[in-house]
Structure 1
Amino acid sequence: MNEFVEIFNLGKTYDTTNGPAVIVQQFNLKMAQGEYVCVLGHSGCGKSTVLTMVAGLNSITTGGVVIANREIDGPGPDRGVVFQSPCLMPWMTAIDNVLLGVDQVYPHAKKSERHDIAAYYLSLVGLGSSLHSRAADLSQGMQQRVGIARAFALRPKMLLLDEPFGMLDSLTRMELQEILLEILVKDQVTTMMITHDVDEALFMSDRVVMMTNGPRARVGKIFEVPFDRPRVRTEVLEHPDYYDLRGDMIGFLEEQDHKKLVADAAKREHAKASEEQQMASVG
């Protein structure tokens, strides 16, 4: 594989009143240029922590991230980020929200050129007729389209998506998934997406990285997704490998559930034994 992104021994530890809390430990992943990888796991396992470290928005405790032969040391325009909530300036128009980033990344371009870049990507996400609508007047799905257009307009080397469709209804979610894939196929942007949706991961990605439960979460298993691109949803669902892959991924998640139940039961037994020992010593 032609390595474009290398995440090596990535770890995150927070200091707490009860001592260090290790959220992610020794997370390792290599990605090829233009590859789409979904990171999937249970809520709270550290998926978003990994993404924010790769984005440079969260300090790295151990390990590092190399993108296009450069180790990152903070946020930068080489990485476009789309969160579950698009974080727009509500009083500004759709195109002005996109231009916030474009003006920073292309300060020496003509004003008309920057405008054309912003308008082009808004058109790609289906907002060509809403360039001058205020963000506050747009629906949630339309606001997320603005967020996606803003990220692509920076022409980043890597796109980072943190459950970008999580707050949308199912029809809007499916439509935006397909729009996003069309742009990604066209621009060949290396992409990491966080999700907890098995079907979304299978439809969108080239590989699915399954994370173990936290604390000390890491890569537990990686699934290769064999479906051809460009993808048609009905063809993906009819692929002979689809339900086997889906079942294996759900099986991994259920195994993590079982391990958590066992660990929680052991903690309760330990706490009970400690309490009984303490009472006995007092008596």
Structure 2
Amino acid sequence: MAGFVEMFKLGKTYDTPHGPAVIVEDFSLNMQQGEYVCLLGHSGCGKSTVLTMVAGLNSISHGGVIIDNREIDGPGPDRGIVFQSPCLMPWMTAFENVMLGVKQVYPHGTRQQRHDIVAYYLNLVGLGDSLHKNAGELSQGMQQRVGIARAFALKPRMLLLDEPFGMLDSLTRMELQEILQEILTRDRITTLMITHDVDEALFMSDRVVMMTNGPRARVGAVFEMPFERPRERADVLAHPEYYALREKMISFLEEQDHKKQQKSIEELAAKRAAAAQTTVAS
């Protein structure tokens, strides 16, 4: 079934001195409008490669991405991005950092209209008392709030999150997860999020897409989340399917670990065999 976002046979190949390196191959995924999907997999499996191709920040070697019936050919204001590090201008205030994007997206808005948009979203993420503090003076958690506010202030059609809570302590991470849940439930923005945290994926998403190991990474399994929205963390943890889903996702990751180890053993054996033949020949 076609979706609001269609990724069809996405592939990314890099040229290297040893020949083409295929990082992602035949990655296909449809997302419905307002859906929250988490990409989950081991480090280096190609999650960020998929996300940056959808963002238009990384060229697509094969296949394509369609968002709202338009094939993308580069970055655009229809996609908001939050990275693990929010990439703020440290000498500018939280307000000024968000205003940078708002001026680009609302060039014909009045000064007051733009001011109200920036203040609204910074208040929404709990920074009402820190609007005019320099970004460099803020904690990591507060900086990430600025990044989230900036992304939402641009009113994107799609939100792309690259491990946005990965550098935060557990309490700050949970607080920001809940803030993000509230905003997304209300605004129904289609969201693709990268994570390596099984519990985060379970709590945040409507579907979890498991990626196989790279190279040639692709969709390995898809899990539907049965939890209703709006969500309370305690209700999710108490759901009768929570731990069964968690076990399936962990088992998939462990299976990928086993395959990776087996591949390493086979490659090492092949190298030793080749070295032995070279020694005999000489």
- Work out whether 1:173 is the aligned partner of 2:173: yes
Matches within 5 A, 1:1-283: 3-282=3-282
DSSP-derived class of the 2:151 partner: helix
- Report the residue type matching 1:281 in the other structure: A
Q: Is the 8 A contact 1:2 1:33 kept in 2?
A: no
The percent of aligned pairs where both chains have the same amino acid is: 74
Which one-letter code corresponds to 1:246 in the other structure?
R
Amino acid at match of 2:276: E
Cα distance in 2 between the residues matched to 1:281 and 1:82: 56
Matched residues in 1 for 2:96 and 2:18: separation? 46
- Looking at structure 1, the residues matched to 7 and 111 of structure 2 have their Cα atoms a distance apart, in angstroms, of 37
Dislocated runs of 4+, deviation >4 Å: none
CA distance in 2, matches of 1:273, 1:237: 51
- 2 CA distance for matches of 1:138 and 1:271? 51
Whether the 8 Å CA contact 2:2–2:30 is kept in 1: the answer is no
2 CA distance for matches of 1:2 and 1:182? Answer: 27
Structure 2's unaligned 5+ residue stretches are none
RMSD: 0.7
DSSP-derived class of the 2:240 partner: coil
CA deviation vs aligned residue, 1:239-268 (integer Å, no higher than 9, x gap): 000000000000000000011111111101
Q: Distance in 2 between matches of 1:142 and 1:46?
A: 29
- In structure 2, the CA distance between the partners of 1:10 and 1:2, relative to structure 1 (3 Å rule), is closer
Shift of 1:147: 0.1
State the distance in 2 between where 1:175 and 1:201 align: 15
Question: What is the number of equivalent residue pairs in this alignment?
Answer: 282
Distance 1:3 1:17 in 2: 39
Aligned equivalents of 1:2, 1:258: Cα separation in 2: 35
Distance 1:265 1:41 in 2: 21
- Residue 2 of structure 1 deviates from its aligned partner by 6.1
SS in 2 for 1:210: strand
Is the 1:98–1:150 Cα contact (8 Å) retained in structure 2? yes
- Contact persistence 1:48–1:194 (CA under 8 A): yes
Name the CA distance, whole Å, in 2 between partners of 1:32 and 1:139. 35
Q: What TM-score, normalized to structure 2?
A: 0.99
Counterpart of 1:259, as a letter, is: K
Task: Give the deviation of 1:128 after TM superposition.
Answer: 1.1
